[in-house]
Structure formats: C-alpha cells, structure tokens
Amino acid sequence: MRIVARHLRITGHVQGVAYRAWTRGRAAQLGVAGWVRNEEVGSVAAHLEGPEAAVEALVTECWSGPGPAEVRDVQSTKAEPEGFEGFEIRR
C-alpha cells in the first residue's frame, strides 16, 4: 500500500457551509489522516495523507463538498506524509 500526501486549497463558497466538518467525516470514512482549516482569504486548506486510492478519492470528492458548498477550484499539490493519525479541524 503506497502512502501519499496532498495539500489542497479549495476556493468558492466553502466557508460557513460545514465544509470542514464534511471533510473530516469523509476522511474518517476513507481512512485518510491530516487536517482542514479555514483561511483568512475565504478558502479552505487541507493536508491529506494515507493510501493513494483513498487520498485521490477524497481530492475528487472535494470538488463537490457538502450540499450548500459552491466549489470553484481545488488546487492539489504533492506533499510529504507527516505521519498524522486521525483527522482534525484546525482553527
């Protein structure tokens, strides 16, 4: 099983629509570790790491997000796995 990591920046109407809680829930279901947080500029940032197929599935799902979200873009860059256990919402 290949472990990979991605850093995401999600833009659009993604704050105030439970995007962080949705991301944490989907990450738990897929077995992805890392974190998610709101950025001051109105975007959401996330660090995802875990099995390659699970991380890529979550990256794809981030284009939809929770029902009220209106995602404009998901920028994904490769990152180094940091050994996270679990998934947290950062403030």
**Each residue's pLDDT tens digit, 1-14:** 899 999 999 999 99
Q: Is 20 a catalytic site residue?
A: yes
Query: Residue 10 is encoded by which pair of tokens?
Result: 């999600």
Q: Which helix (H) or strand (E) holds 51?
A: strand 44-51
Looking at residues 30-53, what average pLDDT do you find? 98
CATH 3.30.70.100 at 3-81, yes or no: yes
Catalytic residue among 6, 20, 24, 26: 20
DSSP secondary structure of 29-41: HHT-EEEEEE-TT
Q: Write down the domain spans for the chain.
A: 3-81
| Predicted structure pTM score | 0.95
Beta bridge partners of 38: 44
Catalytic residue among 38, 72, 90, 91: 38
